[in-house]
Amino acid sequence: MESEETKGNAKAKAEADASSNVDLSKIPLEEPDDGIFATYANVVNMNWTLHDVRLRFAELIQVPDEDRPTWENQHGILLERAAVTMPWHQAKVLRDILDGVIKNYEEINGELKKIKLPARPPA
């Protein structure tokens, strides 16, 4: 059975942990002298472990066939551009941020719908 002192210590520890949270909006944001990495992706995939989520960003592009490299002889490839690994709790924060910004976007511009690729025009 837990003593009142043990319960009090647990409550004090929980309160101390809560008060030690850092307000990231008050911490200065600095960019390295050599800049930051920026890329483009139109495809995202993910892997995960017990501890982390890994987001993998790629670009779907058309490249010419090796044996017949012409505009007419191309095929699609996924060119992996970057991967970001984060703990689960940060992935949840990212989900919430994206959910909010997408809702705001759709309120202004209408619902985002699944896009379809048009057929190639006749030659």
Q: How many domains does the chain have?
A: 1
Q: What is the pLDDT along the chain (123 residues), one digit of tens a residue?
A: 556 665 566 555 555 555 567 888 888 888 889 989 999 999 999 999 999 999 999 999 999 988 888 878 888 999 999 999 999 999 999 999 999 999 999 999 999 999 898 887 887
Helix (H) or strand (E) holding 26: none
The answer to whether the CB of 110 falls within 8 A of the CB of 97 is no
Any domain includes 71: yes
Any domain includes 9: no
Any domain includes 86: yes
- At 2 the pLDDT is 57
Any domain includes 17: no
> Could you tell me the residue range of the domain that residue 60 belongs to?
38-110
